[in-house]
Structure 1
Amino acid sequence: MKIARGTCFQSYTASLPTHAVRTVRNSTIDLLKVFASQIIVIHHLLLYTPMSPVLQAKWPDLLGFIAIEGRYVVQIFLVIGGFLTAQSLFNMLKKGRKVAVWPLFKKRFLRLAKPFWVAIAVAVLLGWLGSKIAVHDEISDLPSVTQLLAHVFLLHDIVEVEALSAGVWYVAIDLQLYAVLVLLGWLSQRLGQQSDRWIKPAHALLLLACAMAVASLLVWNRNAEHDEWAWYFFGAYGLGVLAHWAQREGKVVWGSVMILGVLGIALSIEWRERLLLTGATALLLINSARIERFVALIVQGPVRWLGDISYSVFLIHYGLAVFASSVVIALELSSFAEMLAAFVLTWALSVAAGWVLYWGVERG
């Protein structure tokens, strides 16, 4: 099963879990997570299931757009990730708490990896069961020990082994990005302690993160050969850091001008549509406190629930899609009504399975 990077989550996280415990929920983040995660599920169902050609023939414009462009919602999760990690690190630096790199990294690794391991096991099992029903392009052989170990330690792209599920590369990238920003936080704290206080640690972190983000947007992000490493994606992540700082310090206008200016330069050097979504997300997050009471009217009950389980839904849905494809082929479904029912059922089962994974593993 060869899954192209451009077709999977290039986007989160599913949604990925938050990087810090928040005392007050940000409804804008919840809404963005729900939107992006559900688009990713639909995107993958359109790419990897036999229901897709029939449905796209009926609604070619809408579904064709999601199938091709849906990968861009990864930018939403990248910006959110930077925003939330910055929130945690800036709080540490402001309170003078030590930025302990290894404990923070280990905690993040386990938080990402535990539901990821379960989802990979489910994908392998469902793929094997699906092969007993009907073989299709997404069915692959049982993984080797090397392949499994690479996934266990989130090194699958770095060591160039075949992915066991759609979008698993993003989990590894999220961990890399988190590690890089934590290291920058540690370095900022050292600079603040050893510079006769000519620069505050929080300001040092902002400058380092912005410098790396600019380098990413203007240089590294223009070469897809770097897309297994954090620096390729740090432009969006760094804008999330800037968005949090601007909101925190009441510099909304100044932060917005900086984001628009950097993106304008990056786009003038090389046009990348995904950066438009990056900028829109960063600007929404900068203004999230101002629009909280309005967005909160939308983010109630089911929407908030979908936001909570979005990472688990992202992790688990591909295995279900592979198995559902085998069932559809074995039953020889072909009509529009049958394919639509199979598509919606697979989508609903993905959400339900994500809820089980969230409550059984991720939340614990």
Structure 2
Amino acid sequence: MSPRPSRLPCIDALKAISSQLIVLHHLAFYGPMSDAAYRLAPGLVDWLYDYARIAVQVFLVISGFLAARSLAPEGRLEIRQPALAVLWRRYQKLVVPYAVAILLSIAGAAVARQWMVHESIPAPPQLLQFLAHVALLHNVLDVDALSAGVWYVAIDLQLFALLLAALWGARALARGQMAARAGASIGIVAVLAVASLFWFNRDAAWDIWAVYFFGAYGMGALAYWASHPGRSSMALLVLGAVVLAALIVDFRLRIAVALATALVLAISRRGGWMERWPQARAVGFFGRISYSVFLVHFPVCLLVNALVSSLAPGQPVLNALGMVAAWMLSNVAGALFYRYVESASPLAALRAMLSNERDKRGSPTPPTV
């Protein structure tokens, strides 16, 4: 069997586009620049403010798709390490760059306070507030966010843990029967996704918990299993029909976007072009740095907002140019952050070393998502 490719151009393209939309949404949402530039393009700013944030659904679906690919490519859990060890590795992968980004946000907010007074600037943090962020419990404990979008990192870990628990539970129930284990795994994930789509996702009171988002995440996992080139397309049709039924019961644009993303992933995998299209190097580059851009863009945008509002308050053209500059600088900062933090952290090096040692001993390398 040939090894799975480390990069999937189709997924890189979706991640690249979605990360840029999230940066633009936060530029429209936070800071005084968008207020001043609004009169130049009110329709565009309104669209970015109201709709660009839905791009996060693309990340939720992709995360579920890749988690299924990593943990249970045939529908059954295939890891040999304890589940808690796998979850701890996922936490490390998310939190090492995330913690650095939080520190940058704290520093950026401290500088921005010297230049402007605005509600988008987080207050100086307390120690327990910072620790709650590092523990990914800031949403659950209802503490003020220290950066934009940090809720997603906490939810990503919750979703991974929920999927892992479902797969582990199915393996325990099946007790060695491969076909039954795969069926039980897919069945449990499908039930959780349906419960989310028809119940939890319709009640915003659940939005600090994984079950609220598992409809989109589960769609990604189910799309991966349904898109196996050797399987009937009926499972994919059933998935689409169930999600359409959920939309008929209660239309939510975020769920429609998640369904479209799941179908694109499934069709591209079945068609064999997920690993080949698009081939543009820029797409792969922006896909690789998408998490870093997501993590580090807020302090960059905050500082540019503070500088422009200090030098050119209320001037539409200069503030619009400031928004463009903040967008571009966010990508530059994301590229640097990816090179020097996300892909070069001591823990990343340690994990690579441990993986090499396992390979030398002939042990399976643990999957990564």
TM-score, length-scaled by structure 1: 0.88
Match of 1:6 in 2: none
Match of 2:365 in 1: none
Taking the TM superposition and a 5 Å limit, the aligned residue runs for 1:171-190 are 171-190=153-172
Structure 1 residue 88: Cα displacement: 1.1
- Give structure 1 regions of 4+ aligned residues with deviation exceeding 4 angstroms: 92-97, 290-297
CA distance in 1, matches of 2:199, 2:225: 24
CA distance in 2, matches of 1:134, 1:123: 16
Match of 1:127 in 2: 109
Taking the TM superposition and a 5 Å limit, the aligned residue runs for 1:181-260 are 181-193=163-175, 197=177, 199-248=179-228, 250-251=230-231, 253-260=233-240
Q: Quick one: percent identity of the two aligned structures? A: 38
Distance 1:356 1:283, change over 3 A: same
Structure 1: give runs of 5+ residues left out of the alignment.
1-20
Structure 1 residue 62: Cα displacement: 2.7
Distance 1:292 1:55, change over 3 A: farther
Whether contact under 8 Å (2:10, 2:274) holds in the other structure is no
Deviates more, 1:258-267 or 1:110-119: 258-267
Match of 2:32 in 1: 50
CA distance in 1, matches of 2:274, 2:151: 35
Whether contact under 8 Å (1:92, 1:98) holds in the other structure is no
Deviates more, 1:167-176 or 1:51-60: 51-60
Counterpart code for 2:317: A
Whether contact under 8 Å (1:28, 1:292) holds in the other structure is no
CA distance in 2, matches of 1:165, 1:294: 33
Match of 1:338 in 2: 318
Among 131, 147, 151, the residue aligned to 2:133: 151
Counterpart code for 1:179: A
Distance 1:161 1:79, change over 3 A: same
Match of 2:363 in 1: none
Deviations 1:5-44 (A, max 9, x none): xxxxxxxxxxxxxxxx952532221111011110000000
SS in 1 for 2:138: coil
CA distance in 2, matches of 1:236, 1:271: 14
Taking the TM superposition and a 5 Å limit, the aligned residue runs for 1:248-287 are 248=228, 250-251=230-231, 253-287=233-267
Whether contact under 8 Å (1:123, 1:319) holds in the other structure is yes
Deviates more, 1:350-359 or 1:324-333: 324-333
Deviations 1:274-295 (A, max 9, x none): 1110110010010112555498
The answer to whether residue 302 in structure 2 is matched with residue 322 in structure 1 is: yes
Whether contact under 8 Å (2:37, 2:317) holds in the other structure is no
Counterpart code for 1:74: V
CA distance in 2, matches of 1:150, 1:91: 34
CA distance in 2, matches of 1:296, 1:78: 22
The answer to whether residue 44 in structure 2 is matched with residue 72 in structure 1 is: no
Counterpart code for 1:30: D
The answer to whether residue 63 in structure 2 is matched with residue 115 in structure 1 is: no
Whether contact under 8 Å (2:228, 2:269) holds in the other structure is no
Counterpart code for 2:139: D
Structure 2: give runs of 5+ residues left out of the alignment.
345-369
Structure 1 residue 179: Cα displacement: 0.6
Counterpart code for 2:306: S
CA distance in 2, matches of 1:42, 1:257: 34
Match of 1:17 in 2: none
TM-score, length-scaled by structure 2: 0.87
Deviations 1:308-334 (A, max 9, x none): 000010011111111111111211244
Distance 1:198 1:91, change over 3 A: closer
CA distance in 1, matches of 2:203, 2:311: 44
